[in-house]
Amino acid sequence: MSAPTPEIIEAVSFIQRNLHESLRLNVIAKHVGYSPYHFVRKFKNEIGISPLYYVSALRLDKAKRLLVHTNLGVRDIGLEIGQQSLGTFTTRFTERVGVSPGRFRESLASAEGHLQALQRLQKWPATRAAAPPINSVSGTVTAGSPFSGVVLVGLFSKPIPEGLPRYGTLLSGSDDFCFLNVAPGTYYLLATAVSWGMEGKDFLLPQQTLRGRLKTAIVMRPFAAVEGIRLQLHPPKQDDPPILISLPLLMNHFLLKQRNW
C-alpha cells in the first residue's frame, strides 16, 4: 500500500466534507479527474479499501458519535447516516463495531472502569517467545515518543480496524507481541494506543489515539512463522480509516481472559 497521492487525499477530504450527500462513485471520481474504474483501483491501492466502503465506514463512525453525544434514538441515527432499515443498520453496526448500537451507547458508563482495571493489573501475559513457533506472527509495537498506557493490536481480515480481530491482544505500553496458532490466510496488522487516565468517551470514539497499520498484508502459509515485524504508532492522519471496533469491548475480553487463567 503506497502513500496517498494528493488526488486521493483530496478525494478523502471531499468524502469527509460531503458525508451527508449520497456520494455516488462517479461524483467522487469526477471531482478528482478520474474515471470510476481507475479511481477505484487507485483509491483501494492507496487507502486499502474501496471508496464506497470508506464512505460506509465514515458513516458508521458518525453513528458512533451520535450515540455518545446525542439522545437520538437508534432508528433516527440510522436515518441520519442514510440507513432506511433499522434492521440493516443494527446488523451492520454490530458486525463492524462488535456490539449493537444500544450496547455501544451503554458501554460509556463502564469504559473508564475497564481502563482502570487494566492499569491495576499486576502481571501481563508473556509476549516474547524465545523462538517463534510455526503458525505464529510476532514483532514489536513502538511509539515515536514515550508512551504510558495500553496498546491494542490485532490481525484483521480487512485493512480497517472493524469487527473482532481474528487474533488480538493488549500490551502494556510499547512491547513485543506474538500470535500463536494463526491459520493460513491473509491478515492486516493494526494497532491503537490508549493512554492511562484517558476519559471513556475519548477511546470509545478514538479520534485522537495513536494508531498504526502495516502497509503490506501478512500472508500466513501452512507451517510457517512471520517474525520481526516492527509497527510504529503515529498520530492520526487524514487518510486513516476510522477505528470502528469498540475498544472497551476488546479491553473487557482481555480482562475476562486474564481472570480465567
Positive or negative torsion for Cα 9, 12, 18, 24: positive
pLDDT at position 127 is 65
Asked if residue 113 has pLDDT above 70, the reply is yes
| CA proximity to 39, closest of 27, 22, 56 | 27
pLDDT band for 131, please (50, 70, 90 cuts): low
Asked if residue 148 has pLDDT above 60, the reply is yes
Residue 40, classed as helix, strand or coil, is helix
pLDDT at position 219 is 96
Q: In this structure, what C-alpha cell is assigned to residue 228? A: 520481526
pLDDT band for 130, please (50, 70, 90 cuts): low
pTM of the model: 0.92
pLDDT at position 62 is 97
Mind giving me the DSSP string for the chain?
-PPPPHHHHHHHHHHHHTTTS---HHHHHHHTT--HHHHHHHHHHHHSS-HHHHHHHHHHHHHHHHHHH----HHHHHHHTT---HHHHHHHHHHHHSS-HHHHHHTHHHHHHHHHHHHH-S-PPP---SSPPSSEEEEEEEESS---EEEEEEEESSSS--S--SEEEEEESSEEEEE-SPPSEEEEEEEEEEETT--HHHHHS-SSSEEEE-SS-EEEPTT-EEEEEEEEEB---TTSPP--S-HHHHHHHHHHHHHH-
Residue 168, classed as helix, strand or coil, is strand
pLDDT at position 28 is 96
pLDDT at position 261 is 55
Q: Among residues of the chain, what percentage have pLDDT more than 90?
A: 85
Query: Who wins on pLDDT, 87 or 261?
Result: 87
Asked if residue 2 has pLDDT above 80, the reply is no
Residue 43, classed as helix, strand or coil, is helix
Mean pLDDT over each residue of the chain, to the nearest integer = 93
Strands 136-143 and 225-233: parallel
pLDDT band for 171, please (50, 70, 90 cuts): very high
Where would I find the H helices in 99-197? Answer: 101-106, 108-120
Q: How far apart are CA 65 and CA 231, in angstroms?
A: 28
